[in-house]
Structure 1
Amino acid sequence: MPTLTEELSAEDVLSLTARLEGFWMDLAGRNISLELILDRAWLAPARCCLVNADGHETVERAFTVLRETSGYCGKNTDLTRQNKRQPKPGKSLKNQGC
């Protein structure tokens, strides 16, 4: 999740979700299980070094966008819908989503 003002201003939940899905589809295309990717995916701020001119405001906004993106990914992406339709027997998908 970008934390620099310029980078964060250029993104929104949908663009970040699309970027994540692109990365994950690339990994899936390299024979990494989509279930494994979704189970192990973690979202985090890029950094919180407070170098922005607005001090902590952009970092706080980044955490808000992070929560929104995570919630959106867990419910609305093609990847999570596809994975929910085809769970492997005996496997928990407790951490589905971005």
Structure 2
Amino acid sequence: MSQTASVWVVLLVALVAANLPFFNDRLFGVVPLPTNAKSLAVRLAELVVLYFLAGGIGLLFERRAGQVAAQGWEFYAVTGSLFIVLAFPGFTWRYLMKHRH
């Protein structure tokens, strides 16, 4: 896979991972919870775990392409902010739109 394709795959994985907590009521989309509704705190905790999972996939692609570059706090601040921005469609759908039940 080319480096350009790797970048697009990581961005697609990040987009799906950022919205996953908001589009279902299961933990990580797999584990059913005893209550039918997830709280916002659980969704945000899922978001943090999925951020690191998507970052790990990006790290695997980077390792396969060559030497892994050292990252400072600035990198994590920017990518964390990007991940939150990618989660905006799911957050909007879950909390800001009216749904008929």
Common fold, TM-score beyond 0.5?
A: no
Task: Report the TM-score when normalising by structure 1.
Answer: 0.37
Task: Report the TM-score when normalising by structure 2.
Answer: 0.37
Structure with the higher fraction of residues in helix conformation: 2
